[in-house]
Each structure stands twice: as structure tokens, then as C-alpha cells.
Structure 1
Amino acid sequence: MASYLNPGFEKYQESLNAKIYIDKSDLIAILNENISTTQKYICISRPRRFGKSVTANMLCAYYSKDTDSSFLFDNLKIAKSDSYKKHLNQYNTIFINMQRFLSRAKNDIDQMLIDLNNFIKEEICEQYPSIDVSKFTELYDVLDCVYQQSNNENEQTKKGFVFIIDEWDCILREKQTDATGIKKYLDYLRVLLKDQSYVALAYMTGILPIKKYGSHSALNMFDEYSMTDPGEYASYIGFTKDEVINLCDTYQIDVNTMKKWYDGYSFDESLHLYNPNSVVKAIQRKKFSSYWTQTETFESLRRYIDLNMEGLRDEIVKLIAGNEVVVNTAKFHNDMTTFETKNDVLTLLIHLGYLAIVPDSELKGIDNDKIFAVHIPNEEIRKEFRNITEDNQNYPGIYSLISQSMDLLEKIYEKDNTAVAQAFDIAHQDHSSILKYNDENSLSCVISLALNLASVDLYNVYRELPAGKGFADMVYIPKQGVEKPALLVELKYNQSAITAIDQIKQKNYSRIFHDYKGEVLLVGINYDKDTKTHQCQIEKMNSQSQRT
């Protein structure tokens, strides 16, 4: 079996042989609709270890000529499609793993492109010995010659080449500062694929969307699908909720814990996706842990959150505190070097999988087109942020808050107003260098930072939750199985804690707990800018009359 031309089904068969396999073969039906149309160029980007290579191997197994892979697909979802037999094993399929070519060329882009030409040309010559391509030096000339001559007998049934390009963006990631080499590589792809009649389908996959120059894509013939706009391919980016529930049932794994650790990637209000690699690892090892550090992007996170971008540090702190932030992705250049604002850095973190979109967010200013609300999606990624910012001189003392806040919730449960106020005083004093502390918004950030680090395993946290006649600042609802009081927190700046409690009552915020049977604590917090101290008032609410 060849390596590049019609590589066959062996690699995909290994995936099918694995103990855990999720059938995503119905993706092929979508791609079949685009063969030999103006929509035949498709680029799908998603984070590392989200199944990109498995998908590439599946497509090679399905489309490759001179083999019969029907025994692999006959019992999969694609077999139910009307297009299944029509395209099965019908195309000369060229598979290119750019990472391997770059590594073989010892990171020399010029040598990599030479190797691409030579190795693929060599396999084409072996496959078509009767077609003389010796006079051609460029791969696109070789492919056009083979396409024209091998299809001469029946012009109406001509079949072009299917291109499967994996790790297409590795040059942009590993040769970040080689602008000349990157441009040469993108020009090579454009000439190889654009407006070429021999292309039946071009499927590219990587981590980054296609590089932009100004506002234009370097490969503008491609339809792009990414972590900010996956379109109809969203359910193929990771494991869906239903797929994970079935796995948890099969292997007797707690689905709620699985959700806490690996869920959080969502693109509409109903579709939730899990990190597939981590789900599989957790099942195999019977342990919930972070398997993210085994990927190369771990060091990327450290590097990018340390960049000296105005406002970036404040946004990272808010994210660590469990809050959402607004990101404008419009001007991101789809590379790892061109950062003009904090938005560019945060957009990159979305594509790397460290941040996830919150499509149903209530934050102001989002349009879910180019401007999104984002958050840290799950416990696995939260641990990575903790590991990287702990002892980081650009984030001084964030995680000293953990030890300070371990007993904070207990003091709230005890309704110890003085102790709670003092704890927030300490949080303010220790972290005034991190956040400007001069309005109610920055007050809420420090308060939520202190509370959320202590409560992340106990509560679901809601900010600005519609309640009664207004919006409650912070609401903490115990997670399933947690027997702790719910918390309704109201913040005031330069007023009084009593005023905060009065507002909760006057605006009937407690109505949100109408069907809640457990204990509820009302927590009013005020910051006095003159004395630079907090005041706290905590009251128990358990009367049904207060919830109506």
C-alpha cells in the first residue's frame, strides 16, 4: 500500500479495532455532497487531540481507489446514506501529513516542498507507468497530465483527485517567524489546489484557521469551519453529550463527573461537546485527570498569557475566577505571532481549546458572529490555567487566594459577618496590583475570584441572573449531590451591606428560589472607598413566603 497515493484503510482499521470508538462516519455524507462542486474546498480546524487524524484516516479509507474498504463501512452510519456506494473507493486519493513532511525536511520549508513534489510524483509514476510525466517538475503539472490522460476514454465519468491534508498549519505553528517561508508554503498550496480541474475534493484539517493577510484569506477558495464557527460540522469536532452518556453507561463511569472535567465546548444552546481524547483516557485509566499537558499547546498557553497586552492580565484573572469575558475575533490574523490586542491572544486560546464560546451568554455587546462571550470550559482546562499562573510573576499571588478562601465559605455558612468582611479585605489588599479596584465591576471580580476558587467543585455560579424585579449580582446553586446552602450575593460600592440585603428583599430576588427546597443565605457586601474596607451582612432565608 502506498504512503501518499491511495494509502488505503489500514490506519483507519486500527481506530475501529480500538476498545473505544465513536462512529462519526456520517461526516462523509456531508463531504460527498460537495465533491466536484464549487464547495469542494473544505478546511476544518479544531484543537489538538480532538480527532483530526482519525477523521483524515477515515476519509482515506473511504475514498481511496484500488482497494475495497466496504467491510469497514457497511455497518457504520455512512452506509445508510444514498451516496455511500457511489463514492466508496472511487477516487485517486492523495494523503499529506504536513507535520511528517516538515519533520523529514528538518524544518526546512524549501526542502519540504521539494520532497512533497518528488515523493508524490514517484508514487503516481508507479501507479501510471504508461503515462509519461518525466518532463514535468511541478506536482500540479503531473496531476493534470494524469487526470487528463487517465480519463480520456469517457469524458463524462472523469473523476478527479481527493486531497486529504492533515496538520496543514504546522508550518505556521512551528516556523512562526519565517514569514517568507510561510508565504511560499501558502502560495504552493494555492497553485496546487485552486482552480485545478483535477481536484474533486480538498479536505484540510489543523488547529488554526487559514492565515490572513490583511482581511483576506491566503487560500480564499476554502470554506472554513473553526472553533468560532463550525457550522454543520460542529457535532464532529468532539464527542457529543449523548455519545458520552452512552460511554458512561457502558463503562459505568459517573456522567456528571465526566461533564465537569471534559464538557464545555458549545456552539448553540443544545449542542455540548467533550474533549474526545480526555474522555477516552479517563475511561481507559479509570481516573478523572488533566490529560491536556501531554499536548504541545501546554507551553503555548504559558507563552501567550504572559504577553504584555493591555488588559490581557485582567481578562485572564476574570476567567480564572469563573467569569465570562467578551472577545472580538474579527481582526485575528490566524497565526501565532501577529498580536495587536488582547482580543487576538484570547481568540488564539479559543482555537487552541483553552477557551470556549458561551452562545447563550447574557453579557452585553456580543453578537455570536465575530464577538463572543467565552469562558474556561471545564475542570481539565481550569487546572492548566492554575498550573501555569501559579508562581507566575505576571500574576502575583493569585493562588494564595486559595488558601485564604478555604475557610471563606465556612465563615459564610456560619454567618460570621466580621470574618467574611476581613477575608475580602485581605483579598483586596493582596490583589489590588492585579485589578483596578475602583468600581462595582472590579469589586465583583475580586469577590468572585475569592469565592469561585473556593466553590468551583460545589456550586454552579450565575452572574447577573434575572430575578424578581431585577438582576441578582451572583447566585450560587449547589451542584447535584452537594448539600450546602444556596447563596444569593448582592454587591454595593460605597453604600452599605444592609442596603444590599434590602435590595434583595425589595426587588424580590429570592423568587428565583421558588422551587428550591434547601437553605438559602443572603449575602450583602459593600466596599467603602474611603476606609478601603468591606462590610458584610449575611441572613438566612428559608421561609416560603420570601420566595413567592
Structure 2
Amino acid sequence: MYLNNNEAYKNFIALLNSEIFIDKSMILKILNKRIHTTNRFICITRPRRFGKSEITNLIESYYSKALDTNSIFDTLNISEENCYTEHLNKYNIIKVDFSIKKETSEDYTSYINRIINGISDDLLLAYPEVDCAKCETLSSKLVATKDEFVFIFDEWDYIFNKGIYLNYHEDFLDFLRVLLKGRSYVSLCYMTGILPIKKHSSGSALNMFEEYTLLDDGVFEEFFGFTEQEVRSLCQQNKMGYNELAYWYNGYKMESGLKIFNPRSVNLAIMKKKCKSYWVNTGAMNEVLEYLEIDPMGVRDDIVRMVNHEEIEIEDIEEFRAGQGIPQTKEEIYSAMITLGFLTYSDGLLSIPNKELMGEFEKALKDKSFSGEFDIFKESRLMLQATLSRDTETMAKILHNIHNREISLYDYNHENGLSSVVSLAYLSARSKYIIKKEEHTGKGRADFIFHPLTSRYIPIIIELKRGKGTQTAIDQIINQEYTTTLFDRSKRNILIVGIDYTEGKDHTCHVMELEYRRGINEV
């Protein structure tokens, strides 16, 4: 059934009964203002796993006149609003999930006719007084009912995203246009998917829609994904540390400055009491590998820098839209990665959102197709081993190799050049440490502090110098009391590392272990 189905209600009840539930019902306050207005056509696009389908279930459960959900919504935030009862269970719902296909293969005509015929059959049952035989089109049948409907379309972009029915993409857009545009029977149309609507050179078939994307929203941002405040509350309820969850799953930056967590991964981490990668969208990562193989104008170099926790400055990122085809330019590739949820973009700066996605890019760069990038990861594993064993000769050799290979990325004449190469040398250490650059500690800021994720690894402080010698770096760590806070937190020994680069003499390293003494090292 497509008309007044109760499947969404069942799914919404299952969500309400789950151990982890975040009340997103205030989205209804915004939608209620759009009903019966020229702004009633809404298209919201987000990457997978951002709770889009869950929101469609909430919306249908609220508006559907085939349901009585008063007792449920009375407990949610929307019940405090003046508009609450005016629209509760007042509308016929036509819900279509465009990702649902037959188990066997079907061509486009069968696919779209199955949807049209399904809605037509539902209308025939609900409106027996309407002579559907006289109505040639679905829209004419809807007009004949003399009724109004709320349309909810989930995964509207399915055939574009999956690259199927390529010769019928324009026909599909025209189907939506004829069904919706200028139709008085549309009280509200809420459409969601991954890809924004395709733009035609001669205008848009669906230009009545207002679009809200990762790059351009400002209205619906807080309803897709979990906000920092929501995750803090979940952490308190479930006795989990907020900082670790934020390190793994936070970092999607919205236009307003709001930061959003990946909700599915937060759910799983809290349920399993363990932070790790729960990313399962391997198909999308295969697409990213294809983009990296195209590599126009140094995309791979930029990805290496972002894996190294740097932000890339880039202007004029435009939306990657349905039907656009394989991206070719640097800007198109970044736009596609943002749309798929692999990168985040704010204030002209592009970055990898969090530890979970960082791991996916590291896997991608370790692919056999990228031998140069794989060498970086191999050397970075050796760098941590050499540091922990105080093998300063190997440390200096690795820094020399990375410096020479990545000189196009990091110019040592730039003040951050040495810092960037050292950060790259410890790339693999990020699986064992939270690495903070320029963190305030003691009487100043340390260049690097390595906070171990488990008790198996010793904390590390690194100070860098240019042409002043490693002893100067070691003395600064001690004299500026950089170790005080770390001793207080970890209550164990600390490695301190001095690294110096002198032009013409290359890199030198010095490693010392400072002993923790209770009552002496503490504040």
C-alpha cells in the first residue's frame, strides 16, 4: 500500500521503544508552517546513516488520518507547540520509497508503472465513488478525489544514485513534475535522499522544491544526526565518556556552525560500549577510490594532508547533483565526497570529519593502486616503534625520507613545514593515540602531545626546533613544565622527544623517559 499505510507507524513505534531515542519531533513545527503554502515542497538530502528514513516515519505517524497517535505525540516536544493539535492525524498520506524494487530485474517502465498502479489501486479502494476509468493519469485521479494529500518520498534519487535506468532519468523527473507541480491536492511534499535535485540547462523540472543539503541548509540541520548536546545527554544516561565518542563520530560542520555526530555509529558505540569504526558503506568508498585514481590536480596529495588532520582551503564548492555523472574536476570530486558524507566543508575549509572516516581514507590510501601513499603508512608505523624503543637514528632517517618525498606538500621554508612532516611521520600512531597539536600545558603550548587510547602505550610530548638542537627542545619541555598536566592525568612515566632540523645537517632526534613520582610530578 502507498496510501495511508501503517508500516511507518510500526517503524516509529520500534524507534520509540529502542534503548536510544532522541526526540526530533520539533521538525514538525517547521513543516506545519509550510502546509498549504507555496513553500510546501521540501527536499532534504543527507548522506546515508543520518536518520532520514526515521524522520519520514515520524512525519507520517503525525500527519496520517488513518492513525490515532495522540497519546504518543503528547509525550514529545512538539506537543508544547500551539500548532500541535491543528495538524495531528488530519491528512491522507501518500508514501513512496523509491528504493524498493522487485526481487527480479525490471525495466524502468515496469518500475514506474508498479508505483503508479499501486497508488491508483489504493485510491480506488479509498474512493469507490470516483470513476477512475475516466481518469487517464494518476494526477487526474487525485484531482477527482477532491481531497488533499501529504506526499512523503524516501530515497527519491535512488535510480540516479545507483546509476540505473540512465536513459530514463529525465522521464522520472517529468513524472514527479506532472504529479506534483501546481497541484492543489498537494498539502505538503516532503522528499528526502542523498543527491540534490538535478538542474537542467533550460531550468529545473522540479524548481518548486526548496532544497536543504549539507552545504546549504540553515533550517533543518539539527534534525539529521545527533547534536553535541544530545550526545552529551546520551553519554550521561549510559555512563560513557563524551570525548571519546566525539573523537570518533563528531565533526560534520553545518552552515550555521553546528557540529553533527553520525547517529548510527553513536547508537552502536553506546549499545556495545565500545568506540570503533561502524562504517559499512563500502560501495561509496569504492567510488572514492575511483575518484582518487582520477586524481586531477593533486586530489590524493590533499587527502594525505587531510588524513594528517589538516584542513584544505578551497573555494566555490558546488552541490554534486543527481544525474551529474562521474566527477572529473577537483571541485566536483570534493563535492561528491561531501555529498556522500566522507568530507565536511565549512568557511572555505575542507576536512575529514572524524576518526571513523579517517580510518576509511587510510584504508583507501593503503590500496595497492597508491604505492607512494602506502609507503607513508608503512614508515609511520616504524616511526612509532622507533620512538618507543628510542631508536633516534631510525627516527631521523624516516623524517628525512618523508621530507624528501613530500617536499611538494610541505615546504620547510614555511613555518609549519617541519610540524606537518612530523605529523605525517606519526600518521599510524593515531590508531593508538589522540594527538593534539599546540595544546596548552604547563607554562605554554607543546608542539605535540600524544594521549594514549589505552594503558598499553606511554604518553608522549614532542617539541620541534629549527637549527637550535634537540637539547634545546628537551629543555623547553622540562623548563616550561609541559609534563605537569600529563603526569597528573596519566600517573605514569612520559616520553619526551626533541626533534631538530638544521639545513645542511638534516634531522636529529632525542628521546628521554621521565619517571612519574607520586606527589612530586603532580600539581
Q: What is the TM-score with the length of structure 1 in the denominator?
A: 0.79
2:167 maps to amino acid: T
Are the aligned partners of 1:424 and 1:534 in contact in 2 as well (CA < 8 Å)? yes
Superposed counterparts of 1:108-147, under 5 Å: 108-146=107-145
- Aligned-residue offset at 1:30: 1.0
Q: Is the 8 A contact 1:408 1:454 kept in 2?
A: no
Q: Which residue of 2 aligns with 1:334?
A: 321
- The CA RMSD measured in Å over matched residues stands at 3.8
Residues 117 and 401 of structure 1, relative CA distance in 2, 3 Å threshold: same
Distance in 1 between residues matched to 2:436 and 2:216, nearest whole Å: 26
- Whole-Å separation in 2 of the counterparts to 1:327 and 1:254: 34
Partner of 2:517: none
Q: C-alpha displacement at 1:304, in angstroms?
A: 2.8
Runs of 5+ unmatched residues, structure 1: 151-159, 360-367, 541-548
Alpha-carbon offset, residue 536 of structure 1 = 5.8
Answer yes or no: is the 8 Å Cα contact 1:391–1:397 preserved in 2: no
- Please state whether the residue corresponding to 1:250 is helix, strand or coil: helix
2:397 is matched with: 422
The whole-number CA distance in structure 2 between the counterparts of 1:108 and 1:97 is: 17
Residues 55-88 of structure 1: CA distance to partner in whole angstroms, max 9, x if unpaired? 1111111111232121221111111111111011
Q: Indicate whether 1:46 and 2:46 are aligned.
A: yes
Q: How much has 1:29 moved relative to structure 2? A: 0.9
Separation of aligned partners in 2, 1:50 and 1:481 = 30
Q: Amino acid of the residue matched to residue 397 of structure 1? A: D
SS in 2 for 1:213: coil
Match of 1:233 among 220, 226, 231: 220
Amino acid corresponding to residue 14 of structure 2 in structure 1: E
Contact 1:476 1:488 in 2 (8 A): no
Moved more, 419-428 or 339-348: 419-428
Higher mean alpha-carbon deviation, 473-482 vs 258-267, is at: 473-482
How many Å separate the matches in 1 of 2:433 and 2:264?
26
Rounded Cα–Cα distance in structure 2 between residues aligned with 1:190 and 1:282: 42
Question: Which of 325-334 and 193-202 deviates more?
Answer: 325-334
* Secondary structure, counterpart of 1:93 in structure 2: strand
| Residues in 2 aligned to 1:523 and 1:213: alpha-carbon distance in whole angstroms | 58
Q: Which residue pairs with 1:399 in the alignment?
A: 377
Alpha-carbon displacement from aligned partner over 1:497-524 (angstroms, at most 9, x marks no partner): 559979x99xxxx999899687997856
Task: Indicate whether 1:449 and 2:424 are aligned.
Answer: yes
Q: How does 1:143-162 map to 2 (within 5 A)?
A: 143-146=142-145, 149-150=146-147, 160-162=148-150
**Equivalent residues of 1:260, 1:379 under 8 A apart:** yes
Q: Residue 308 of structure 1 corresponds to which residue in structure 2?
A: 295
Is 1:382 the counterpart of 2:381? The answer is: no
Q: 2:320, 2:336 within 8 Å by CA — same for their partners in 1?
A: no
| Code of the aligned partner of 1:183 | E
CA contact (8 A) 2:320 2:339 kept: no
2:299·2:330 contact (CA, 8 Å) conserved in 1? Answer: yes
Q: 1:424 to 1:517 in 2, by over 3 A?
A: closer
Alignment of 1:460-499 (within 5 A): 460-462=435-437, 476=449, 478=451, 484=459, 486-489=461-464, 496=467
Judge conservation of contact 2:251–2:344 (CA < 8 Å) in 1.
Answer: yes
SS in structure 1 at match of 2:376 = coil
User: What is aligned with 1:5?
Assistant: 3
SS at match of 1:33: helix
Q: Match of 1:325?
A: 312
CA contact (8 A) 1:501 1:524 kept: no
User: How much does 1:136 deviate?
Assistant: 2.2
Identical amino acids, percent of aligned pairs:
32
AA in 2 matched with 1:426 = N
Q: Distance in 2 between matches of 1:18 and 1:537?
A: 53
Check if 1:28 corresponds to 2:28. yes
Whole-Å separation in 1 of the counterparts to 2:481 and 2:155: 48
SS at match of 2:189: strand
The answer as to whether partners of 1:7 and 1:61 remain within 8 angstroms in 2 is no
Which residues in structure 2 correspond to 1:510-529 (within 5 Å)? Answer: 525-526=500-501, 528=503
Q: Which amino acid aligns with 1:402?
A: S
* Contact 1:289 1:380 (C-alpha < 8 Å) held by counterparts: yes
Q: Distance in 1 between matches of 2:24 and 2:236?
A: 19
In structure 1, the residue matched to 2:490 is none
CA deviation digits over 1:156-186, x for unaligned, max 9?
xxxx31111101111111126x543222212
Task: After superposition, give the CA deviation of every residue in 1:233-256 in whole Å (9 maximum; x if it has no partner).
Answer: 111111122222222222222222
Note closer, same or farther for the CA distance 1:447–1:110 as it changes in structure 2 (3 Å cut). Answer: farther
Distance 1:295 1:269 in 2: 30
Residue number in structure 2 paired with 1:167: 155
What stretches of structure 2 of length at least 5 have no aligned partner? 488-493, 514-523
Change (3 A) 1:123 1:484: same
- 2-structure distance, mates of 1:263, 1:375: 12
**Which residue number corresponds to residue 156 of structure 1?**
none
Do residues 352 (structure 1) and 336 (structure 2) align? no
| Matches of 2:356 and 2:469, distance apart in 1 | 39
Q: Residues 116-158 of structure 1: CA distance to partner in whole angstroms, max 9, x if unpaired?
A: 2111111011101101122223222222222xx34xxxxxxxx
SS at match of 1:231: coil
Note if contact 2:250-2:354 (Cα within 8 Å) is conserved in structure 1.
yes
Q: How does 1:239-254 map to 2 (within 5 A)?
A: 239-254=226-241
**Does structure 2 retain, via aligned residues, the 8 Å contact 1:425–1:534?**
yes
Matches of 2:168 and 2:369 in 1, distance apart? 35
Give 1:364's aligned residue: none
The CA deviation string for residues 255-274 of structure 1, in whole angstroms up to 9 with x for no partner, is 22222221122326863321
Q: Which amino acid aligns with 2:23?
A: D
Indicate whether 1:77 and 2:77 are aligned.
yes
**Any conservation in 2 of the 1:121–1:139 contact (CA below 8 Å)?**
yes
Query: Is it true that 1:194 corresponds to 2:181 in the alignment?
Result: yes
The residue aligned with 2:519 is none
2:140 and 2:200 map into 1 onto residues whose CA distance is: 27
Aligned residue in 2 for 1:545: none
Match of 1:363 in 2: none
Q: Report the CA distance between 1:376 and its aligned residue.
A: 1.6
Output the TM-score relative to the length of structure 2.
Answer: 0.82
Rate the CA distance shift 1:13–1:318 in 2: closer, same or farther, 3 A. same
